[in-house]
Chains A and B, each alone.
Chain A
């Protein structure tokens, strides 16, 4: 055995908790996208939107009559989270990062490695899901907080501390509305195929189909309920309801919080159930 390093020593430490093992998986999955130049460019573009708004806020600080968009919390809602460009960025990021999360492991049979370690199927699913949610939250929350700081420093409204904190909480809630269902659906697509590009394409088709089908049906059926078929409408409406409205409400749907909450919640649960089922069958096949 002369050719090998003989410094091998046995390990005799204490094992970490299951939570720590899941955190380790999340940390690895979170680190990987940031090594990809293209992903970084797309991430930076979401910061560019906020940067633009901060510049606008700076430029209007001396304005006697602040424009409408700088009042209330419209700048968060309409200016950033429900901004069509940002929605597109989020959709692209979830496709590029999320589509590979499970399909890659199935394609390369890495599930064998995962499940031969001290984690359960539920741990694996939770780790992957949280990794994607946290990655998308980075893209929504961090720019959202920057915008909050900008609004706090340069905004011309005199708001109470309670209102400020309310806005902060609303930003967190709106981010969760955008990222949680999206992560679940993307993971579901990632679990049904070994091909990452196919999972990404399926998600993009789903996203655009829901957006295009909705107005078509509204026009054809002369009724409003098909608006709820649009992913963007659902998240935008529920996101708007996260804020304590100051200024004109701009609701997308003519309903309260429950219908979109139930639809998005149902889609999330069903998607995770599908992933669970796929993992179980794949695990048995392996």
Chain B
């Protein structure tokens, strides 16, 4: 059973249909929820947290119905919103502690957890300063800390790396990866930044115009295009192509001047033999990979 199960989920706003008959089964682990702006990702998160009710269809989060038991779901789910949602006049300790208490942690546990998660995200003495004095990276860490303070079973992250510089971005991605793979918390990472998903997630959902258009393991989405090889050589390319032909292989000119793409070889041995025969040096031998971006663009445009 998936952590989120939606069936025929639709959400109609007065002027726009945000979700259109969405059916999805989100598995555990780290899942990337991809989609261009307006794809319906944020609306889906709102429904999952019980902020708004769907116009049609049903959804279950961790086996619970958000419309019927929103408070129980919010005790089991952590949410890191995209926008700043901190109170700038209080310290990170007060803010995260308040979040813990409002979730239902007793005073002592809440204070203990507050310091535990602030240590974890790397906020040390500065945790006692007012949040209004923090950098964007520190504010994101506070948001992340409040989302995990009650050790949720499921963590919903809405664009967690927005506005971060490269270093802060890497730190945030490391944190998300660790929480998903080392702390037993399932993560749904909603973003339009494909790199973040590639770094963190093992499963990808792609939404477009309120519907699910792809759902697969990241490895499957970025699997080799076909059984071909890209070879970079140093030497006479036409001699190499002739030798390949003699080996029964079809070679074609690649992207660069020294590149050759070889279709459907039976392993690398015939390629190496052709190189020896033609007297060329092989500088690189790789299987061409699709990037997530390739796949994403194809799905969105197609």
Contacts and interface: CB of A to CB of B under 8 A. Distances in A.
A21 B178 CA distance: 30
Interface in A1-36: 1, 3-5, 7-16, 18, 20-21, 24-25, 28, 32
Interface string A106-133: 0011111111111110000000000000
A11 B111 CA distance: 12
Nearest to B104: A15
A122 B75 CA distance: 18
Contacts of B51: 115, 283-284, 286
A116 B74 contact: yes
A10 B151 contact: yes
Interface residues of B, number: 48
A104 B182 contact: no
Interface string B86-110: 1111100011001101111111011
User: Would you call the interface of chain B mostly helix, strand, loop, or mixed?
Assistant: helix
A117 B122 contact: no
B298 interface: no
Nearest to A9: B116
A258 to B, nearest CB: 40
Given A28-B98, A108-B88, A118 B74 contact: yes
Interface stretch (B77-85, B188-196, B219-227, B257-265): B77-85
Nearest to B72: A118
B150 interface: yes
B175 A10 contact: no
Contacts of A21: 101-104
B104 A118 contact: yes
A12 B105 CA distance: 10
A4 to B, nearest CB: 6
A118 B99 CA distance: 9
B243 interface: no
A114 B107 CA distance: 17
Contacts of B102: 21, 24-25, 114, 117-119
Interface in B154-206: 171, 174-175, 178, 182-184
B49 A3 contact: no
A112 B121 contact: no
B113 interface: yes
A8 B120 contact: yes
Contacts of A110: 85-87
A119 B120 contact: no
B62 to A, nearest CB: 14
Given A4-B122, A8-B120, A118-B71, A108 B85 contact: yes
Contacts of B75: 15, 118
B71 A109 contact: no
Given A108-B86, A115-B51, A4 B120 contact: yes
A32 B90 contact: yes
B146 interface: yes
Contacts of B105: 11, 13, 15-16
A13 B106 contact: yes
Given A4-B122, A11-B113, A28-B98, A104 B178 contact: no
Contacts of A112: 79, 81, 83, 85
B117 interface: yes
Given A9-B116, A105-B87, A110-B87, A25 B98 contact: yes
Nearest to B152: A11
Contacts of A284: 51-52
B7 to A, nearest CB: 24
Given A4-B122, A15-B75, A284-B52, A108 B81 contact: no
Contact of A4 (B101, B110, B175): B175
B89 A104 contact: yes
A1 B109 CA distance: 25
Interface in B59-76: 70-72, 74-75
Given A28-B98, A116-B74, A11 B151 contact: yes
Interface in A72-130: 104-105, 108-120
Contacts of A25: 98, 101-102
A10 to B, nearest CB: 5
B119 interface: yes
Contacts of A108: 84-88
Nearest to A13: B109
Contacts of A10: 151, 183-184
Interface of A: 1, 3-5, 7-16, 18, 20-21, 24-25, 28, 32, 104-105, 108-120, 283-284, 286
Given A25-B102, A113-B85, 5 more contacts: A7-B119, A18-B71, A21-B102, A24-B98, A117-B103
Closest 5 CB pairs of A and B: A15-B104, A24-B101, A117-B102, A5-B119, A11-B151
18 contacts: A4-B175, A7-B116, A11-B109, A15-B105, A16-B101, A20-B104, A20-B106, A21-B103, A21-B104, A28-B90, A108-B86, A108-B87, A109-B85, A112-B83, A113-B81, A115-B49, A116-B49, A117-B74
